């Protein structure tokens, strides 16, 4: 498979399908729900937008990652969660409604925060003069790749709810297939250097994954949020949109640096294992609390 086909066709199509699937599961009520659980949403956003980038920066420095790998890891920190986080949250008996709300809000906020973190990472790790800023054209491209499919999915959900419900499962399956294909293609492209990359990036990606989940679960618990909401935030923070990170790293009109996509590819493999373990542990020890808070004012 040629690189041009991967970057020009496979990546945008895969991301579009994944975002479409996310849109099929969203409704206006998901955005309005923030009024009923403001503390949980605020804590989740602080973990995602505030704590995680600094933690990722520290991990990249701690493991002395090469500039390209460090930027690639930071791309993950800047990328929101997605439908996969919702699925694992459901398996872990977390508050899926909170996951959906956080995913919706994070997807919107990432349009502003992602270019900022990318520019900061390029300057911090690759040096002054090597920054590749995302100009208006590139920002609009990310906007189109992320929000347009989500918007289409939401319109289908609003206009044809029964159709959207029927499409959710097959689109989710197709999304998983595309994600697997992207990871495989990325690994194949770098197969000659893969052992070395795993050696240098694997430990950092694993530590970042565990840190993400720990921050997403422990911080909400320290803030006295219910266990189900803490589990949901842990999944939302720990499961990043690897496809978005790979697309930005490899896109010909974006960063155009396949090496930066390697951390996202490795992370995507790791997160399914750790999230599965996380879900199994918490599902077995789930609280017998009601699915929705009885009194929103206490959130």
Predicted local distance difference test score (pLDDT) of residue 35: 76
Asked whether residue 291 is domain-assigned, the answer is no
pLDDT digits (tens, 9 = 90+) for 110-143: 777 887 888 888 888 887 555 455 545 555 565 6
DSSP classification of residue 283: H
Residues present in the chain in total: 299
- Residue with tokens 């986080």, as numbered in its chain: 85
Asked whether residue 83 is domain-assigned, the answer is yes
Asked whether residue 200 is domain-assigned, the answer is yes
pLDDT digits (tens, 9 = 90+) for 250-280: 766 567 787 888 888 888 878 878 888 888 8
Q: Are 100 and 293 in contact (CB under 8 A)?
A: no
| Cα three-residue angle 142-111-152, rounded to 5 degrees | 60
pLDDT at 207 exceeding the cut of 90: yes
**pLDDT-based confidence at residue 231 (cuts at 50, 70, 90):** very high
pLDDT at 79 exceeding the cut of 50: yes
Phi, psi of 92 (to 5 degrees): -90, 5
Neighbours of 206 (CB within 10 A): 17
pLDDT above 70 covers what percent of the chain? 74
User: Which domain covers residue 54, as residue numbers?
Assistant: 3-282
**Whole-angstrom distance, CA of residue 279 vs CA of residue 290:** 18
CATH of the domain at 147: 1.20.1530.20
State how far the alpha carbon of 146 is from the alpha carbons of 11, 106, 296, in Å.
12, 11, 31
Considering its fold, how many domains does the chain have in total? 1
Asked whether residue 289 is domain-assigned, the answer is no
pLDDT at 289 exceeding the cut of 50: no
Asked whether residue 180 is domain-assigned, the answer is yes
State the average pLDDT for the chain.
Answer: 77
Asked whether residue 209 is domain-assigned, the answer is yes
Asked whether residue 24 is domain-assigned, the answer is yes
Asked whether residue 167 is domain-assigned, the answer is yes
């Amino acid at each position: 498979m040629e690189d041009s086909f991967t970057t020009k066709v496979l990546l945008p199509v895969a991301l579009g399908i994944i975002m479409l699937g996310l849109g099929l599961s969203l409704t206006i009520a998901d955005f309005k729900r923030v009024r009923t659980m403001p503390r949980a949403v605020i804590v989740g956003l602080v973990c995602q937008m505030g704590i995680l980038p600094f933690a990722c920066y520290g991990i990249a420095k701690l493991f002395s990652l090469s500039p390209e790998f460090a930027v690639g890891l930071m791309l993950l920190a800047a990328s929101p969660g997605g439908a996969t986080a919702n699925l694992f949250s459901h398996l872990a008996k977390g508050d899926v409604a909170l996951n959906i709300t956080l995913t919706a809000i994070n997807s919107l906020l990432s349009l502003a925060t992602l270019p900022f973190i990318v520019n900061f990472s390029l300057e911090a790790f690759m040096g002054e003069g090597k920054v590749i800023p995302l100009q208006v054209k590139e920002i609009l491209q990310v906007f189109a790749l992320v929000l347009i499919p989500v918007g289409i999915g939401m319109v289908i959900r609003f206009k044809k709810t029964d159709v959207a419900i029927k499409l959710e499962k097959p689109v989710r399956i197709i999304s998983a297939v595309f994600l697997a294909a992207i990871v495989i293609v990325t690994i194949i492209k770098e197969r000659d250097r893969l052992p070395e990359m795993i050696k240098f990036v694997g430990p950092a990606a694993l530590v970042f994954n565990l840190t993400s989940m720990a921050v997403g679960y422990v911080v909400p618990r320290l803030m006295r949020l219910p266990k189900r909401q803490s589990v949901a935030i842990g999944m939302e923070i720990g499961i990043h949109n690897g496809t978005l990170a790979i697309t930005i790293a490899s896109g010909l009109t974006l960063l155009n640096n396949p090496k930066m996509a390697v951390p996202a590819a490795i992370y995507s493999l790791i997160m399914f294992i750790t999230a599965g373990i996380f879900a199994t542990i918490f599902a077995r020890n789930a609280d017998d609390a009601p699915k929705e808070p009885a009194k929103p004012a206490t959130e």
